[in-house]
Amino acid sequence: MREILRIQTGEREELVDITDRVVMAVKTSGVKNGLANLYAQGATAALMIQENWDPSVPADVINLLRKLIPKGVWLHDRQDGNGDAHLKAGLVGPSQTIPILDGVLGLSRWQNVFLCEFDGPRSERTVIVTILEDR
């Protein structure tokens, strides 16, 4: 089964919690045991599994990446000013694979799935959710 998630972002850099949408895709699929593979389309977006109980954690992620990869100092910035966004997305990565166990997404209590926006805001980001069943 495949589902396309379309997500609107509101900031240049932000982590958007998409866990509920992924959980719904798994539920809709009817798969009891298998894998949910998530893939963010776009060269300046990524996916991350991280804590969402405390909002300081996503903020800390953004702040760390801003310190590691500052804006405005990269060769690609001469093209369109988003060299840092490409580097951040490449470092974090475009995909995550999560087990499905007894019909439930196999995240721990404190784990959530985030779309990482590094070049927003965007009216639409696309995440492809592919659900594979164990046979």
What is residue 135's three-state secondary structure?
A: coil
CA dist., res. 63 & res. 96, Å (int): 22
Q: Is the pTM of this model over 0.85?
A: yes
Query: For residue 35, what are its two tokens?
Result: 């894998």
* Lowest-pLDDT choice from 32-41, 59-68, 73-82, 88-97: 73-82
pLDDT digits (tens, 9 = 90+) for 38-70: 999 999 999 999 998 999 999 999 999 999 999
Report whether the peptide linkage leading into residue 121 is cis, meaning its omega lies within 30 degrees of zero: yes
pLDDT digits (tens, 9 = 90+) for 92-117: 999 999 999 999 999 999 999 999 99
Q: Report the percent of the chain where pLDDT is more than 90.
A: 97
Domains and CATH numbers, the chain: 2-133 (2.60.120.460)
CB half-sphere exposure, 100, CA atoms < 13 A: 25
